[in-house]
Amino acid sequence: MQASPEQQSLILELQLIDNEIMQANTKLKSLPEIEQLLHIDKRITSANDELATVKAEFDQITLELRRGEVDVETVTDRIKKDEARLSSGNATPKELEQTQHEVQTLKKRQIALEEIELEIMIRNDAITARQNTLATDLASLEKLKAEINQRLTAATGEINSLVVTKKSAREILVSKIEKPLIDLYEKIRASGGGIGASALVGNKCNGCNLAINAVEVERIKTLPKDEVLRCEECRRILVRI
C-alpha cells in the first residue's frame, strides 16, 4: 500500500489521540474514589447489620424492663394493701400474723425484683449507648460517601469532557486520512490492543519495542517514502519519522 508521508504522519497523529482516549478511559475505570466507595459501602452495610441486631436487642430489653416494672409495681401495691390492713387492726391476731409474714415475704420479693430491674436498666443503658454510637458512625460514613461521590462526579466529568474533546479532534483528523489507510489502521487497531500504528525510531518499532534486524532496516532504506511499512513482529503500521 502507498500513502504519502503526510498521510502516514496523520495516521501516527491519530494514534496519539487514540492513546489519549484509551488512557482516559483506563483512568476513568481506576479512579481511587471507586475503590473508596466500595470500601465505604461495605462498612455501611456492616454497620446497618449491626445496628439492626442492636435495635432488636434494645426492643427485647425494653420489653423485659417493662415487665420488670410491672412486677415491682404489683408487689409494691400488694405490700401497701397489706400494710394498710395491719395498720387498721381489722383482723384476728392470726390473720394479722399471716399478713405480717406475707409483707416480709413480699418485701424480699420486691428487693429481688428491683435488683433484676436494675440489671436490666444497666443493660438498657449500654445497648442505648451502642445504638447511638452506631447511628453516629453511620451518619459519618454517609457524609464521607457523599463527599467521595462528589469528588468522583467531578473527576468523571473532567475525564469525560477530555474524551469528548479528543473524539471531536479524532473525527476531524479521520476525515483528512485516505480511506484505505484508515481502514487498515482500524483493522490493525481492533486486533492490536488499540494500537494500529507506531513510529520507527532508528531501528526500533515503538509499538512492540523490538529492534528490527539490520537486513530489514537496509531494505526499508531503499523503499520509497510513500510505501506503507508494517512491523515484522507486531504487524502494526510503521511510520518513519
Q: What are phi and psi of 92, to 5 degrees?
A: -75, 160
Tell me the pLDDT band of 152, cut-offs 50, 70 and 90: very high
Interval 112-130: pLDDT, tens = 888 888 998 999 999 999 9
| Domains parsed from the chain with CATH numbers | 5-24+178-240 (no CATH), 31-164 (1.10.287.1490)
Sheet holding 204-205, edge to edge: 204-205, 197-201, 237-240, 229-230
Pairing of strands 237-240, 229-230: antiparallel
Contact present, 208 and 233 (Cβ < 8 Å): yes
Average pLDDT, the chain: 92
Q: Which residues lie across from 238 on neighbouring strands?
A: 198, 229
Return the pLDDT at 100: 82
Q: Which of 49, 50, 58 is nearest to 126 (CA)?
A: 58
- Res 204 pLDDT > 80: yes
Q: What is the mean pLDDT of residues 191-200?
A: 93
- Res 103 pLDDT > 90: no
User: What 3-state class would DSSP assign to 219?
Assistant: helix
Regarding pTM above 0.85, the answer is: no
Return the pLDDT at 94: 81
Return the pLDDT at 110: 87
Q: Which residues lie across from 197 on neighbouring strands?
A: 237
Distance, in Å, from the CA atom of 104 to the CA atom of 101, rounded to the nearest integer, reads 5
